[in-house]
Amino acid sequence: MGLRLTVSDIWKTYNGDAVLKGCSFPFDSSGIYVLMGPNGCGKSTFLRICCLLEEYDKGEINYFLDNNMLEKDIGLRRRISLVLPKIGVFNTTVYKNVEYGLKIRGMTGKETEEKVDRALDFVGLYHKKKHNALTLSSGEIQRLGIARAFVIEPEMLFLDEPTASIDQKNTEIIEDIILKMKREGRSIVVITTHDKSQAEKLADRILIMKNGSIIDTNS
Amino acid sequence: MEYIIGAFIKAFSLIFNLDQELIAIIILSFKVSGGALIIATFAGLPMGAMTGLKRFRGRGIIISILNTFMGLPPVVVGLFVYLILSRSGPLGFMALLYSPTAMIIAQCILAFPIVASLCHSAIISVDPIIKQASMALGATPLQVTATIVKEARYGIISGIMAALGRVMAEVGAILIVGGNIAGYTRVMTTTIALETDKGNFELALALGIILLTISLIINSALHLIQKKGMVEANRWV
C-alpha cells in the first residue's frame, strides 16, 4: 500500500475568522480527488496544511506508509508536492526550473537529465527547455509547475486551481496531463477547482468544501 | 590654457608608457578597495539576507541604521578608525595605523552598509511565492534561503557594484588612516589630492582619467545589470 493521508478535525482561523471548521477526510487510495468550493472557502489553506506548508490551530494531519505513521520532517515533505495557482517561476531556464526539485535532493547527472527531459515532454514543453521560464505564457507556466512537481515523482500531488487563470486550450492540455497521470495511477492527486464539468471529467472522487468542512459526494 | 593641454599630454604619456609609479598606485588602489569590498560583501550579504528573510526583534532598527550609514561621511569614518587604531586607542597595540590594512578597515566600514542595505532591498523584492514554491518542491530552509538569494542576484550584484564605486572614489577616510605614504599607502584618490596640492598635474590627471574610466565601467556594468533585471522582471506574466 502506498502513501496515505488522514486529515482529522482540522481547524484554522485567520484574524478571528474560522476558515476550516473541523475538516476530516482519509485520502487512502490512489486516484484523483477533486475538491470543489467557492472562492475563499478554504480550499487553498486546506491544501497548504495537507502539504505541511502551513500550521493549523487544532486537529491532526497524519501520513501513513504501510500502516506506519511517518514523521512530519523533510523526508515526508519530499514524498509530496504542491503546485500553487501562481507557481513561482525561478528566473532561469525552463530546464533548470524542472531540474530544481531533483537538484535539491542531491541528484545530478545523466539520469537527472533524462528525468527532466521526460517531464518536459510529458507537459509539452521539451522544445522550450532552453528558454528563460519567465518568457513562457501563463498556460505554459502552469504546465511548467506540473512538470516541476511531476519530475520528483511525488507519492501525493496537490494541484491548487491548476486551470484558474489560463485559456481553454491550455486548460484542455492540463486536463489531458492530469488524465495521463490518472492512467499511470501511481499516486494520489488532489485538485481544487471551481469548474463542475472539469471535476466530473477528472475525478475519481469529488469532495465539496462547505462551511469550512469537507463533504464527500460519494458517501 | 597651454599648461592644461600640456598636463593632459603628459598624463596620457604616463598612461600609455605604463609608468611604474602609476601602475603601483593603481594596483594598491585595487588591492585596498577590492579587499574592503570582499570583506564587506561576506559580512553584508548575510546581514542583508537575514534582515530580508527573518522577522526578529530589533530588525527595523538594524534596517534604519544600515540605511542611515549608507551615507556615512568618509572623513568621520576615517576619524573613528584613526581613534581606534592610534597608539593610545583600544587597538593601538596592533600598530595598524598608516598601513593598507587600516585603509581596508575604513573602506570596509563605508562599503558594508551599502552592500547590506541594497542586498536587503533586493531580497525583500523577491516574490514571496518563490519561498512557498521551493518549500513545496521539498527544499530545506537553507535551500529556500539560497533560492531566494539567487533570485535576488541582480539586485545584490548592483549593491556590490555601488559599494565598489563608493570605495574606489573615496579619499577622506583613507587619507586619515593611510597617511598617503609613497609606495606604501598611496592610492589613486590620495595621490590626486597630494599631486594637485604640489602643482604636479600630470600624475594627478593621469590618475583622474583612470579613475573616471573605472567609474564609467562600474556605472555601465551597474546599468546593464539593472536593465537585465528589469527586462526579466517585466517578463512576468
A163 has a pLDDT exceeding 70: yes
Q: Which CA distances in Å does A27 have to A33, A206, B59?
A: 8, 12, 42
A215 has a pLDDT exceeding 90: no
Residue with cell 497548504: A48
Q: What per-residue confidence (pLDDT) applies to A169?
A: 87
**Cross-chain Cβ contact B236/A82 below 8 Å:** no
Cα–Cα distance, A165 to A171 (Å, whole number): 9
Report the half-sphere exposure of B233 (CA within 13 A, side-chain side). 15
Beta bridge partners of A61: A7
Tens of pLDDT, residue by residue over B119-142, are: 999 999 999 999 999 999 999 999
Question: Considering only CB atoms, which chain A residues are within 8 Å of B135?
Answer: 53, 77
B157 to chain A, minimum CA–CA distance in Å?
15
Q: pLDDT category, A219, cuts 50, 70, 90?
A: low
**Cross-chain Cβ contact A134/B136 below 8 Å:** no
A136 to chain B, minimum CA–CA distance in Å?
8
More confident residue, A216 or B50: B50
**Cross-chain Cβ contact A132/B127 below 8 Å:** no
Q: Where are the domains of chain A?
A: 3-216
Q: How are the residues of chain A apportioned to helix, strand and coil, as percentages rounded to the nearest 5?
A: 35, 30, 35
B190-203 mean pLDDT? 89
- Torsion angle in degrees (nearest 10) through CA of B21, B24, B28, B29: 60
pTM flag (> 0.90): no
Q: pLDDT category, B79, cuts 50, 70, 90?
A: very high
A82 touches chain B (CB under 8 A): yes
Q: pLDDT category, B236, cuts 50, 70, 90?
A: very low
Q: How are the residues of chain B apportioned to helix, strand and coil, as percentages rounded to the nearest 5?
A: 80, 0, 20
**Cross-chain Cβ contact B143/A104 below 8 Å:** yes
Cα–Cα distance, A5 to A188 (Å, whole number): 9
Nearest to B138 among A104, A135, A138 (CB): A104
Q: Distance of alpha carbon B84 from its chain centroid, rounded? A: 21
- Class of the CATH domain delimited by B2-234: mainly alpha
Q: What is the CATH number of domain A3-216?
A: 3.40.50.300
A98 has a pLDDT exceeding 90: yes
**Cross-chain Cβ contact A138/B237 below 8 Å:** yes
Tens of pLDDT, residue by residue over B34-71, are: 999 999 999 999 999 999 999 999 999 999 999 999 99
Percent pLDDT > 90 in chain A is 73
B235 has a pLDDT exceeding 60: no
Tens of pLDDT, residue by residue over A103-142, are: 999 999 999 999 999 999 989 999 999 999 999 999 999 9
